Amino acid sequence: MASIELRFLGTGTSQGVPVVACTCSVCRSSDPRDARLRSSALLSVDGATVLIDAGPDLRQQLLRAGTDSIDAVVLTHEHMDHVSGIDDLRALNFHLQRHMDIFGNAATISSVRRMYHYAFAEQRYPGVPDLRLHEIVGDRVNAGGIDLEVITVLHGEMPVLGFRHGAVAYITDAKYITASELDRLRGLDVLVVNALRIKEHPTHFNLSEALAVIAEVAPRKAYLTHISHLMGTTADAAQLLPANVELAYDGQVIRVES
Ligand SMILES: [Zn+2]
Ligand SMILES: [Zn+2]
């Protein structure tokens, strides 16, 4: 029996909510659940913790969660809202006095190496992040001591990685999931899946597409993430959801024995 904890550090789409300069009712909402930093989560299993994605709000997210240790980082894909906070991992390098292992598919690893070229230079400037990049090959990986099943979904044309441990799975930035990968999402207690907004979108599930995936794989409970202000307020969107589905919110913690 493993004790699994998933903590949502951010549940917003690439622009976050509120959106800069927007005055819509969601962006002006006083409900704290409607303030969404860029999507990221901490997955802890029996005391080991991996960070799923390291977007532009990472520093603020780690401060807010009181995080002082991470065993590894797993990246879903190379888009900026998922990788542009990697430099802030150096705070944990200094605190933990060790390098940080970062896992992703080949495209993500090569783009991280390009973006953060100074961290991989022969002569490194003092104080740059100390990162070890690991390419995920195949459909399993051990990251930071946690065994993960790796599920590949499609974000438009781009393959994006989802991660499952036991009865908990986290999927973001999906627009399409093949039948064989859907089969690997059955038997879950908790499925996290992205739902951008009510209307369709070319590269992300909208609400009805996310609900169709949830109905298909039938987790005990599902949480929606990577949410845009166009979803409406958390309170209004709740009216549209089946009983076992809710909009995740920043800071939410889910615990499962699996
Ligand atoms: Zn994204
Ligand atoms: Zn993306």
From the CA of 79, how far away is ligand 1's center (Å)? Answer: 6
- Does the pLDDT value for residue 214 go beyond 90? yes
Q: How close is the Cα of 81 to the center of ligand 1, in Å? A: 5
Gap from CA of 172 to ligand 2 centroid (Å)? 8
Per-residue pLDDT of 42-82, as tens digits, reads 999 999 999 999 999 999 999 999 999 999 999 999 999 99
- Ligand 2 mean position to 77 CA, how many Å? 7
Contact call for residues 250 and 35 (beta carbons, < 8 A)? yes
| Phi/psi at 106 (5° precision) | -60, -45
The whole-number pLDDT of residue 192 equals 98
Question: Is the peptide bond prior to 18 cis by the omega test (within 30 degrees of 0)?
Answer: yes
Q: How far is the CA of 105 from the centre of ligand 2 (A)?
A: 14
Task: Give me the mean pLDDT over the 26-41 stretch.
Answer: 98
In this structure, which ligand is nearest to the CA of 14?
Answer: 1
* Ligand 1 centroid to residue 146 C-alpha, Å: 24
Ligand nearest to the CA of 203: 2
Q: How far apart are CA 104 and CA 110, in angstroms?
A: 9
Query: Would you state the structure tokens that stand for residue 233, as one six-digit string?
Result: 């307020």
- 96-117 burial, b for 16+ CB within 10 Å, e for fewer? eeeebbbbbbeebbebbeeebe
Tens digits of residue pLDDT in 80-106:
999 999 999 999 999 999 999 999 999
**Interval between CA 148 and ligand 1 midpoint (Å):** 21
pLDDT at 49: 98
Edge-to-edge order in the sheet of strand 146-155: 140-143, 146-155, 158-165, 168-170, 190-194, 221-225, 245-247
- In this prediction, residue 242 carries a pLDDT of 98
Q: What is the pLDDT of residue 235?
A: 97
pLDDT surpassing 90 at residue 107 = yes
Identify which ligand lies nearest to the alpha carbon of 154: 2
CA 154 / ligand 2 centre spacing (Å): 10
Domain ranges of the chain: 3-249
Ligand 1 geometric centre to CA of 111 (Å): 15
The percent of residues in the chain predicted with pLDDT above 70, rounded, is 100
Q: What pLDDT was estimated at residue 258?
A: 78
pLDDT in tens, 238-255: 999 999 999 999 999 999
Please name the helix (run of DSSP H) or strand (run of DSSP E) that holds residue 234, with its range, or none: helix 234-238
How much is the pLDDT for 2?
Answer: 85
CA of 124 to the centre of ligand 1 (A): 30
Measured in residues, the chain has a length of 258
How many A from CA of 204 to the centre of ligand 2?
A: 8
Q: Once rounded to an integer, what is the mean pLDDT over residues 143-147? A: 98
What is the pLDDT, as a whole number, of residue 86?
A: 98
| CA-closest candidate to residue 186, choices 155, 225, 151 | 151
Average pLDDT (163-172) is 98
Task: Give 174 Cα–ligand 1 centroid separation in angstroms.
Answer: 9
- Which stretches does DSSP call E strand in 85-220? 100-104, 131-135, 140-143, 146-155, 158-165, 168-170, 190-194
pLDDT of residue 39: 98
What CATH superfamily classification does 3-249 receive?
Ribonuclease Z/Hydroxyacylglutathione hydrolase-like (3.60.15.10)
pLDDT value of position 1: 75
For the cut 90, the answer to whether the pLDDT of residue 229 exceeds it is: yes
- Checking if the pLDDT of 143 tops 90, the result is yes
